[in-house]
Structure 1
Amino acid sequence: MMQTVVDFAYEETIAQICRLDWPNLSQEDTIAAAWAYYFFSVQFRENLQIARILHPTDEKLQDLEREECDTDNLSPWPGVAQTGEKMDHDEFMRRVLALAPVSDAQRSCFKAGGDRYLRMVRRTDANTRALSIASYEDGGLERVFRAMLTSPGSDNPLLGGFRHFLSEHIRFDSDPTQGHGAMIRHLRPDDSILPLWVGFKDLLLEFVPGLAPPGQTT
């Protein structure tokens, strides 16, 4: 079988996330994956804001920030956002999670794991965090979101909101000339960002152990 050649190790980590057992998740597991993604969305916003600080005159980054922060491009959504209501995308995810409350014990577990993950990200240097945005927006997250959407559908309102978030972001990112990837492609990530992708994969597996059953390799 022909081996896929990748330029950087982080690209293989993206592929590993996509190969996780998304199609066989239970509803509870998919909710847990949404919680994991919420914490990722927090660091995404922070990393984008860092990129803006490092490149204050970059008009493409300004455009991307307008698409990801204080925006109504995910509105409306029942129970989350009114027509025309603007918010950061991680705030949209925070509200989505409230559509199907979890137990206090599970919430505490998610918060502890998410806080550990965010502390790891926040220890990373600013330039690396800024560069990560290019890998997220220029194909990385689009591939991950398509994999996540292979999980079983449900009439659960939280999962409906999460699927809306994923589907819309695929639309935002995928246009080759006008999409979010095109806005960030001039930044050139390298394997300095690998720990951020590995941290995301580890967070998913911590929250959703069923993504990688015993004996399954990624």
Structure 2
Amino acid sequence: MMQTVVDFAYEETIEQICHLNWPGLGQEDTIAAAWAYYFFSVQFRENLQIARILHPADEKLQDLEREECDTDNLSPWPGVAQPKEKLDHDEFMHRVLALTPVPDSKRLHFKAAGDRYLRMVRQTDATTRALSIASYEDGGLERVFRAMLTSPASEDPLLRGFRHFLSEHIRFDSDPTQGHGAMIRHLRPDDSILPLWVGFKDLLLELVPNLAPSGHIP
């Protein structure tokens, strides 16, 4: 079997996330994965805003911000967004999580883990945080989202909203010339961003232990 050739260690971490046990998740597991992704979406928005501050005249970054922040491109969605309602994408995810409440003990666990993850991200220097956006938008998240969508479908309202979020972002990112990846490709990340991807993988495995195949954590 041919192995994927990677130029940077962070790309190997993306591959590890994609090869987690997504098809074997139950409904509660997938809800926990949606919570983990919500915390990722918060740092995504923050990192994009940092990139905009560092590159204020960059028109492609301006375009990307319009697609990710204060936008109606995920609207409408039942119980989450009205027709033409504009939201930051992490706010959309925050509202999605409210569609299916979880027990207080589990919610507090999710929030504590997510807060630790966000503290780690926020201690990272601004240039690295800005560069991470290129790895997210130019193929990294598209691959992760496709892997997440191999988890069993459900009629649970939260999970239906999460699948809508994932499917639409694949559509946003996948066009090679007009998609979100094309808007960010001129920024070239390196392995300074590795801890951000490792942190996301660790958060997923903490909130969703069943992602580790046969109990093995890569």
Name the CA distance, whole Å, in 2 between partners of 1:162 and 1:146: 13
Q: CA deviation at 1:5?
A: 1.6
Give unpaired runs (5+ residues) of structure 1: none
- State TM-score, norm by structure 2: 0.98
Name the CA distance, whole Å, in 1 between partners of 2:206 and 2:168: 26
> Is residue 158 of structure 2 the alignment partner of residue 158 of structure 1?
yes
Report SS of the residue matched to 1:102.
Answer: coil
The residue that corresponds to 2:10 in the other structure is 10
> Is residue 120 of structure 2 the alignment partner of residue 115 of structure 1?
no
1:1-218 to 2 correspondences below 5 Å: 1-216=1-216, 218=218
Count of matched residue positions in the alignment of Structure 1 and Structure 2: 218
Name the CA distance, whole Å, in 2 between partners of 1:23 and 1:2: 22
Runs of 4+ aligned structure 1 residues displaced above 6 Å come to none
Q: CA deviation at 1:48?
A: 0.1
Q: CA deviation at 1:217?
A: 5.8
Q: Deviations over 1:104-158 (max 9, x none)?
A: 1111001100000000000000000000000000000000000000000000000
In structure 1, give the amino acid aligned to 2:134.
A
Name the CA distance, whole Å, in 1 between partners of 2:127 and 2:117: 19
Name the CA distance, whole Å, in 2 between partners of 1:55 and 1:179: 20
CA RMSD of aligned residues (A): 0.9
Name the CA distance, whole Å, in 2 between partners of 1:50 and 1:63: 15
In structure 2, give the amino acid aligned to 1:86.
K
In structure 1, give the amino acid aligned to 2:150.
T
Name the CA distance, whole Å, in 2 between partners of 1:67 and 1:28: 30
Give unpaired runs (5+ residues) of structure 2: none
The sequence identity of aligned pairs, in percent, is 87
Name the CA distance, whole Å, in 2 between partners of 1:94 and 1:12: 29
Name the CA distance, whole Å, in 2 between partners of 1:121 and 1:71: 24
Report SS of the residue matched to 1:99.
Answer: coil
Q: Deviations over 1:148-174 (max 9, x none)?
A: 000000000000000000000000000
Report SS of the residue matched to 1:134.
Answer: helix
Name the CA distance, whole Å, in 2 between partners of 1:191 and 1:8: 6
- State TM-score, norm by structure 1: 0.98
